[in-house]
Copies of this chain bind each other. A is one copy, B any other.
Amino acid sequence: MEVQVMGSRIMLMGFGNVGKGFCSLLSEKNSMLKEYYGTDTKVTGITTRTRGCIYDPSGIDIDLLLEEEANDPQRSLCELPGFSAICVNSPYELVQKGKYDVLAECTVTSLQDKSAGLDYIRGALSRGKSVITTNKGPIAFHYEELLDLANKNNGKILFEGTVMSGTPVFSTSVNGLCGSSIRSFMGVLNGTCNYILERMIEGQDYSSALGEAQKKGYAEADPAMDVEGYDSALKALILANVLIKTSPLNLEDVQIKGINSLSPEVLKEAIKGKGRLRLIARGQLDKNKKSISVGPEIVPEGHPLYSLPGATNGLVLETDTLGTVCLTGAGAGSRETGFALLNDLVTLSRPGYERRVI
């Protein structure tokens, strides 16, 4: 079958691990995207919080940028050889006036600034653009509003990378299970905590295990987000608000216990017992009463979340059609989360394709 090739111009907000992972996948997969999905992609703008913004409506040379940036990772993008001529000032002006079809938003999620990235997304959707994002805040706290805004302006908003990096949680639960009701979920949604807990069971103390996770690049910018359970709570909020259409829950509705204050008794129990200690996010998705909690639990042998090495994440869904379904895979990583954006981009390129929830 002939595939009709459509141009797709991307405005990228954020050039950290995720943004770079996405760019390098775009470069690697460009010809495949054309051949199989009919998407001819170029990046017209890249904005950062502290390292300037660049914009070229004819397309930025991504390969050159990745190469120059690797040579000098602290420098402003505008100062990298070959990019000074396309330097611009305001990210928000780019969102409002720049030429692009899809806003790829990978601003870092922060609990101090819950609306980080939100105005970019609102701005793009208001212009009828589509948005793909890995930023948990806007989806956890403003999903209904953003979905309405997208629908009103004939745009779309996709966010596969907000939960379990590129592991296709939403594709699987929303498309793969379409026609099912998901009654509850139980997940290991934070790779850092999983990694730390595995090291602690082996006898390492908390702070050296945390240090190791940070060295491996698993930890969030602010480790409190991980170890205090807030990262898992945001992901659970997203799942609860996306997988079932009822009045949305907020962070205050989530019972949260992290792994930073594990009692020695729990740890001792976990070490001598046959189960594995995990930070578990749970959601009950009754139409009339939704509830979410996050806290450490001992998972018994034989449970689908028992074997999750290192930073692997896992999500167990209880459905009314199939019983238990479990998906496990990467929960973090530059390439892995960058892939979530690539997957969302391809999904957008399919006309008429839409994820729906019950």
Contacts and interface: CB of A to CB of B under 8 A. Distances in A.
A309 B25 CA distance: 37
B328 A304 contact: yes
A350 interface: yes
Interface string A317-349: 000011111111110000110010011011100
A326 to B, nearest CB: 5
A306 interface: yes
A323 B330 contact: yes
Contacts of A328: 304, 325-326
Contacts of A172: 168, 171-172, 176, 327
A175 B180 contact: no
Contacts of A25: 179, 321
Interface stretch (A9-17, A29-37, A226-234): A29-37
Nearest to A173: B168
A327 B330 contact: no
Q: Which of A29, A175, A321, A342 has the most CB of B within 10 A?
A: A321
A67 interface: no
A171 B175 contact: yes
In the assembly, how many copies of this chain are there? 2
Give the size range of A's interface with the partner.
35 or more
Contacts of A326: 326-329
Contacts of A352: 350-353
A332 to B, nearest CB: 11
Contacts of A335: 321
A339 B165 CA distance: 28
A166 interface: yes
Nearest to A152: B1
Interface string A292-319: 0000000001111011010010000000
Contacts of A345: 179
A287 interface: no
A243 B33 CA distance: 16
B325 A329 contact: yes
A151 interface: yes
A171 to B, nearest CB: 4
A85 B323 CA distance: 38
Given A165-B322, A325-B328, A325-B329, 10 more contacts: A37-B178, A166-B322, A168-B177, A171-B172, A178-B347, A321-B336, A322-B329, A324-B329, A326-B327, A350-B352
13 contacts: A29-B179, A175-B347, A176-B176, A178-B346, A301-B307, A306-B307, A312-B324, A321-B335, A322-B330, A324-B330, A350-B352, A351-B352, A353-B353
**Which 7 pairs across A and B sit closest by C-beta, in order of nearness?**
A168-B176, A352-B352, A171-B176, A325-B329, A351-B352, A321-B339, A326-B328
